[in-house]
Amino acid sequence: VHATRVVLTGVEAVQGFETVLRQDSSNTRAWTGLATAYTWAERHGIPLPGVPAESLGPMAIRFSEHAVRIDSLDSDAWLARGLIDEYLDPARKVIALEAYRQATVLDSTNAEAWARLGTVLADMSRDEEALVAYLKAEALAPEYHSYKVPLHYLWFRQFDSATAWVDRAVAAAPNAYWTRFAAGTV
């Protein structure tokens, strides 16, 4: 189910999550969504009316911490926590790694958590572990994550494996940008 989740960003997303939270301030998913929307706004320079740009990151952290406090067993709350740590402060990748691990422990079908875990592991040069995480993400949601495996093999100049996996990626998601990128690179 995680593979079909729609991630909203920007003003409309924030307004939607705030509306939900006015009705139910204990809604973990709304706090998680709000944290993610603030993270993307900060990372991509998306202005949010009434919110100073320098407040976006700290507010995203606060929202994600609140979501985890409300429901520490929610995989998506931990995924949002990891995204914030990974994107807003690269020095906190170890914290992001633990948040992603927690997300996968709580829900082993959370493809996005597996994919993010793989990325952080790759950034830490833990390449075999990264490949395992990428393969898990690809198995759970090939239409979203199939390009990660061929790019991993390409990075290590394992061209035969990269070619085989990119063919699989194109079959799973022929029109996805990153799939096409991987196909053009291999």
- Run means of pLDDT, 10 residues per run, the chain, 186 residues: 47 92 96 93 90 94 96 96 89 92 98 96 95 96 88 91 90 86 84
What pLDDT score was predicted for residue 11?
Answer: 85
Task: Compute the C-alpha angle 182/1/73, nearest 5°.
Answer: 110
- The CA distance from 40 to 51, in Å, is 14
Structure tokens at 25: 């301030």
Amino acid at 9: T
pLDDT of residue 9: 56
CB contact set of 113 (below 8 Å; sequence gap of 6+): 2, 75, 78, 79, 82, 100, 103, 104, 107
- Indicate the helix (H) or strand (E) that contains 92: none
User: Taking a C-beta distance cutoff of 8 angstroms, is the pair 57, 71 a contact?
Assistant: no
- Of 128, 151, 148, 153, residue with least CA distance to 138: 148
One-letter amino acid for residue 153 of the chain: Y
Query: What pLDDT is recorded for position 125?
Result: 94
What span, in angstroms and rounded, lies between the C-alpha atoms of 34 and 105?
Answer: 23
Q: What is the pTM assigned to this prediction?
A: 0.84
Phi, psi dihedrals of residue 23, rounded to the nearest 5°: -85, -35
